[in-house]
Homo-oligomer: A and B are copies of this chain.
Amino acid sequence: MREVTLKHIAEILEISVATVSKALKDYPDVSAKTKKRVKELAETLNYKPNSFAVNFRTRESKTIGLIIPEVVHHFFSNVIKGIIAQAEKKGYLVIILQSNESYQLEKKQLGLLVSKRVDGVLMSLSNDTVDYKHINNVLDRDIPLVLFDKTAKLINCSKVIIDDRKAAFIATEHLIRSGCKHIAHFRGPLLPLNSIDRFLGYKKALETYDIKYDPSLVYTCNEVTFEEGYNFTQELINTQKRVDGLFAVSDLVAIGAIAKLNELKIKIPEQISVIGFSDWLMSSAITPSLTTIGQPGYLMGKKAFKRLFVEMAKIRKKQPFKYKTIELPTSLIVRNST
């Protein structure tokens, strides 16, 4: 049989579906004897209450949607883990969709989640999302939505973020304080706020320490891959410019750079210091181990769900609330590459 329903139980016991339902919920107007018969049969048949039905009464699906640009990504997998752990604690299931950094897909997926009546949505924007109508539509309909990590200033909603600009400043400052004077930056794509902020933090640090900004030392990683780090390092070396420090937008890019520098027998950190961003699992395992900025992915996931949980309750009770931006601390993790 596909699924035991109230109807099956009612037919077998020759009572009404309503009585079965009431019996299972211990309504006072059903006799103890009937309750016992219903409950015993329900157990024998391994009856499971239909959660989608529950949904009609409480108007809750106890399910939230999560849209994430990329699942195979050390930082994002940690965020997912944090979200699932916290959601599970509160009895929520998580539907996960991957936007592949595509605005079109992200938009379609958000519509799908809303049509599925999720109770709330957690999202990290794709790299090419510049129009926010799809998100504002959801917020306008009082569906709770919290953004994390990759957000946009123009969207008015709650956000869980790190201060990318400050963290990038600290990373660059660390290179300067280690004696670097000619610092290259392998930046992220042009649009997302976090790669802009990391770039601005880099510039700000140079300015603060009276180092002239040289745009020819900045390379843009559109895909943020190992290969880009590897190839741009070759290009950088080919320019014959003096470079003694490199700040990469992510550990993966930094590790690509280290692979190329190792290949060229350029000594790290003696000839060039390298710092990454994110603290990937492997960053402590490579040679030399990578200095980086620790970004609390698991905590970010937990905090994002917690905030969503608060807003879901507020909206359910029709209570007013204000959007909050929660900023999580990052840390400078000094290893052997600087």
Q: Which residues of A contact B (CB under 8 A)?
A: 1-3, 46, 48-53, 55-56, 59, 61, 63, 71-74, 77-78, 80-81, 84-85, 88, 93-98, 111-117, 137, 141-143, 226, 252, 255-256, 258-259, 262, 280-282, 284-287, 315
10 A-B pairs (CB sep. < 8 Å): A3-B141, A50-B117, A52-B55, A52-B56, A63-B95, A71-B80, A72-B77, A72-B281, A95-B96, A287-B287
User: Within the complex, what minimum Cβ distance (angstroms) separates A314 from chain B?
Assistant: 12
Contact (Cβ within 8 A) B285 A255: yes
Bound complex: CA of A51 vs CA of B142, how far in Å? 18
How many protomers of this protein does the assembly include? 2
Bound complex: CA of A71 vs CA of B281, how far in Å? 13
Contacts of A61 in B (CB 8 A): 52
Contacts of A53 in B (CB 8 A): 56
Contact (Cβ within 8 A) A95 B95: yes
Contact (Cβ within 8 A) B80 A96: yes
Contacts of A282 in B (CB 8 A): 255, 280-282, 285-286
Contact (Cβ within 8 A) A115 B280: no
- Please give me the residue from chain B that is nearest to A118 by CB atom: B93
Contacts of A77 in B (CB 8 A): 71-73, 77
Bound complex: CA of A114 vs CA of B93, how far in Å? 12
- Please give me the residue from chain B that is nearest to A116 by CB atom: B51
Contacts of A94 in B (CB 8 A): 95-97
